[in-house]
Amino acid sequence: MELETGVEEMIENAELEQVCDATVALRDSRESLPTIDPIEAPPVDLKASELYINRELSHLQFNVRVLEQALDEKQPLLERLMFLLIFSSNLDEFFEIRVAEQMRQLKYGREAVGPDAMHPQKVLEKIREICEINVDRQYRILNEIMLPALEREGIHFHRRGTWTPEQRAWVEEYFNEKVVPVISPIGLDPSHPFPRLVNKSLNFIVELDGKDAFGRETGMAIIPAPRSLPRLIRLPDELCDGGDNLIFLSSIIHEFADTLFPGMTVDGCFQFRITRNADLSFDFEEIEDLARTLRGELHSRKFGDAVRLEVDNRTPEHLIAFLQEEFKLPTAHVYRVDGPVNLTRLMAVRDLVERKELRWDPFTPGLPNKLKSTDDVFSALKRGDQLLLHPFQSFTPVIDLLRQAAKDPDVIAIKQTLYRTGVKSDIVNALVEAARAGKEVTVVIELRARFDEESNLQLASRLQEAGCLVVYGVVGYKTHAKMMLVVRREGNNLTRYCHLGTGNYHSGTARLYTDYSYMTADEQVGEDVHKIFQQLTGMGKIQKLQKLYNAPFTLHAKMIELIHNEIRNVKAGNEGHIIIKVNGLTEPKLIRTLYEASQVGVKVDLIIRGMCRLRPGLEGISDNIRVRSIIGRFLEHTRVYWFANAGKPTVICSSADWMERNMLNRVETGFELYGKHAARIRSELDYYLRDNCQSWELHSDGSYTQNIPAEGEELFSAQQTLLNELANS
């Protein structure tokens, strides 16, 4: 046994020597060969189409997240109903603008593709697929969940078949007194061609049998529902067994349609609604007077090309085919629905039903202590800048600044931008008062704020009549900046007081949208705001700003510079971190630069409410990027850019989203914050990054999933936390 072991060891040692000799020979041969560098993977093309999500489909996904709120039982019942109806309102605008644009491109052979390279025809096909699924879901939620839940709470929607004789008598009287005097049924024949129906109006197509008074057998008629009448009517309490009792105008017209065609038989009466292209387009080179041109275009918006047909799902196929032919719409643009075709008008339920327990708890917006302790806004701003976060904090100080300026004899001038504000708002009243008091009041009104054009034209007329100097900004560049400048004589000096914001000068939306307001007497900020107003009202070269950034000149370049700075910091061994909170992220160069930042290890947190073209989580490209969307009680509207900057954070609030239109084709402002205000912004951004009950995570395939607490983790809502901290209960 020992001899055998020795022989085995000798054999093993000999083999080992051979292996060692071979290894040395191989090493020597390698050393004699020329050095070959390792093969590096080719750089990723950051312009590749697969790295980008289609803008329209991303926009549509935001609305799907809105619809999901209707299923959230943590929210009050009537608020869930509102989310269901907001889905309809958002979808209307999506078809009026976004779908209309895709169809226009195909119609005129001007197909344009974005960074995702998706052809408009393919985009429309995907839109149809998503909308068909989710519109069906919406009506199932309404019929199977919302209406039964409302019924259990004593809110009854009475269908025709459930009316008692007394209720029917009351409804018939309502029909004869309120509906008949304003309704105009239209029989279809050679002298009465198909009517030109208004965008988004409720209509009925009626099948008739028999001859009319002139012996005509038309067989068909259209009943446009009067737009002056409410779509929901409350039944008198004495005719009902308690609760809130509502009926649809459509039910009333259905029930008594036969009385509109005496001597004829109504064989069928079916709801439909047409959605039209509502976008306004201008040839700016041909415009001589923007206001006059806009007035002419507004009327045509009601009768643009048809883009969608909604019909009651009980409508016979031959009638649907007839409507399609009239509106020149393919089947892909027809939506059959199981209920009222104009759900948005059901928002009237808020005014018809007083059920506070089914709504969100009311709150009183808070105020910073320095603004609580004085009625003199000027003296408060002399002591220090103020940063407000609406709606958790009050919008009143912004209005008070303007009101005080209107009355103060030492104020000599006021300058203001207005985008969406309303003709009779407190802001406008103060501007009118100031002008009538002899102050120099200059107002830059953006007439082309979509769907507020008519209101802004009326607003311009009112301000001009009061003596304000009204200008419409710069042709070709929407004025989206939110700026107010008050010039006050103090001793021998002129002091400028400013307000800069991320949202509009509108008291109503300040209770519904989250936005920052920054109020300051900082001399350099005042000088910058003055220069921007000069650019808007006068002419001249770009003026250098000290503390502000403005689009279309410096804001976009500054964002690229700040991202590159984070890249340099990481390469130098420091931590890199970017937090961006905006409503939309679509600008390709910004996205490519964020991809570059992620590739070197910069941590990127994006809080994007709506459209986002960037794909997070792509290996080697966007591994370090996280994208989330917050959907809740308030519409997230703040635009905040935070950069770590090697331990000395740069914090900028702005009126601009990270979209092409904002960065390159609009007048926007960005204002940097420092010290305690910058620290506060970071703290509040952290709330949104922690949110685990109203936040949705974007995945690389473009889908979203809602974040839910891990096992043992407490619920955390950013909006509720801010309400608790900043508002008064």
Q: Which residues are annotated as a binding site for Mg(2+)?
A: 420, 450
CA distance 275 to 231: 18
Burial (CB count within 10 angstroms: exposed 0-12, middle 13-18, buried 19+), residue 137: middle
Dist CA 638 CA 612 (whole Å): 16
Tokens 């004829």 belong to residue: 264
User: Is the alpha carbon torsion for 570, 560, 584, 390 positive or negative?
Assistant: positive
Give the count of alpha carbons within 13 A of 583, CB side only.
16
Helices 120-141 and 55-68, packing angle to 10 deg: 0
42, 45, 239 from 39: Cα distances, Å:
9, 18, 85
Angle between helical axes of 77-93 and 120-141 (0-180°, round to 10): 160
The strand pairing partners of 389, in sequence order, are 516
**Catalytic residue check, 480:** yes
Residue 116 half-sphere exposure toward CB, CA atoms < 13 A? 20
Determine how many CB atoms are found less than 10 A away from the CB of residue 592: 19
Q: Which is catalytic among the residues 156, 158, 480, 556?
A: 480
Cα separation, 306 vs 359, in Å, equals: 37
For residue 328, which amino acid is it? K
Q: What is the DSSP string of 396-425?
A: HHHHHHHHHHHH-TTEEEEEEEESS--TT-
Cα–Cα distance measured from residue 376 to residue 410, given in angstroms and rounded to the nearest whole number? 13
What share of residues in the chain are helix, strand, coil (percent, to 5)?
Answer: 45, 20, 35
Query: Of 131, 138, 66, 69, whose CA–CA distance to 98 is shortest?
Result: 131
The catalytic residue positions are 480
